[in-house]
Structure 1
């Protein structure tokens, strides 16, 4: 196991990694921007290094400053968390060039699975079901039109290097195609520095179901059940639960087998997630792979008992994962995660940075809060608006929902608007209570 690692991130995920490391006896180094100098992760870490001014491009995306901080503090490894540089192959490569272990997959895996068009081709070749799509990148609108005419509308234009819904456009009519194609390419170029796009047949009213995977250097690959992430706004997840209310035991096994097949096809190591679309007939299709730990990993931890961050550290340090012998996994109880963001759901989820004057977290059995916030903290306009993640567990879905109601009512945040009222409304909808939410949940319910 490592003696010391650098955490190349901020906020709740930085603190989550540091706590797992401390339990393993590993010292941590925080990096921070000027805007984050007084935050909890900076105080919690054994050491802290300022890496630049508030804008992320000059701090948390500044590879040379982060590498220099790791080298000068004597770190052996770097954990990227999620976001920022977590899926940047050049950063993983720079770590290796400076004798630092990147706690994640190889640069080659990041590149191979980060390019969505190439990932589709890889999955098709290894027998994992994929949505009908174009043969690689589509460079001309004429080729996009030919594909759409062949498979039929609606179609989905997606950025090859994309994520988070950027560079993505739904096209329902032929007359919409050219403008959507141009807009998707421009947005992809602005967001990722890569304007390549590809096309897929649009699966109508799917569920978004993903499989958490782990793989080590000893030939162990495991699928840690599934998460249902169907409640989204503009392709951004708002609430996740595990297991999915849509899956039976057979479908869970089938999706787990497909996920492990995907991992083996690219010789993957460390933690990752295989994301699928599940249609109304029960067929599932590969969508993409996230080559990192995800925001919603706690719901999987709650139903499997596996500490995913600790497993990442074990795998990266050259040890076998501790949970390999426990597979196959069956879910124990039910967990729901609510993303508590500094956003105003009454005004189109407008960001609400500012000073927090009250921050009272819920407690009791089956309640977990992941946050870096305290009363007096400031939510910066420079970064993601997440304030906290509230995770509840129950012996079954009904208990988890009841516990979620109670915990949300106890969660008191003042000084800024948050998404707590939105989540309270979600729990009261018939669609959610029946476990029937699909990716059009917001549009259908009007929330």
Structure 2
């Protein structure tokens, strides 16, 4: 090819290249949103017809898709930046959405220039302003009476180029969530929240602030199993069950007194009461135990398992005392899952009892939880076990007739492997991110 023909060919090649479509792109409005809120994606380089949307790897409900606009709802996910993938006929359009997690839906923080007072639309009201000269801005705290927090943040920032809006995040001292760590939000997004399943919490009782069904108090022999233990051990356990299985029904069974003593006679009576009174799929949670096995309790647990009631039991907190076997967790009963405790880095908690009987592990150190007096921090295998009990409830909701032996096998098969001895973590950390 001569020089002249080459010069003519180059512009043609460049023009052809410019006609080849690249990957489509997406702009999100709003760019921050609560779980369940609608978000509009404006596509460039692709049609919205037939588009499918995933947020953080989870499928999102598409409300409408036409022209260049896709409207979808944010699936149930933990808060934070999440990748958005919109599958179109021209390829995948990608963006990032800030999912608003643990926030106060009725309050907003607004940064504005020093000395200014904001002029606000009707759905906002000014609660307080604080000049922060050292930081160079005024912080306004606003009350918000609307229902779409993500759009509200965007609306405020559109009022003035100098306005910057933030959600009022609700942080905790613990720094992590047991439910999030084991993948409960992903299970919730798949529609599993424990509906139709009962979880019997055999403990110090459960405070009346926790939604619950009729239970029994074997300490005082009456039908009111209130939590008299300082700090509310049973209440904390019940709330951790609900963190994983928020729609499961809590059955409070008081078998431990205000001093934390759980007489085996009370525990045996409590297990048998559940066996006699269980209606529909039921789980037993035993955040208690000791070093001396009781045959009567083993027989009671066998009766529960034979009736299709799986058991989550705390493995014990004697890891620093030589790890003596902890009963009832150490009973060799298929369908009874002995649970060890993990720290935030997913290493075994030093206090967690080691033993060949440990089946699974779950978060149990520095764990944010809720007692009768509000938020607190929980430590112990007592608080790892309820997370597994909640996981059992989700499996039974998905498969109501699942036998305890098969349920244990499924939990172990889908557990997250951990690089620690099986005596400490069993088959690994219970994991709901993919199943049920």
Which is richer in helix? 1
Which structure's CA Rg is the greater one?
2
TM value normalised by structure 1: 0.25
Greater relative CO (CA pairs within 8 A, separation 6+)? 1
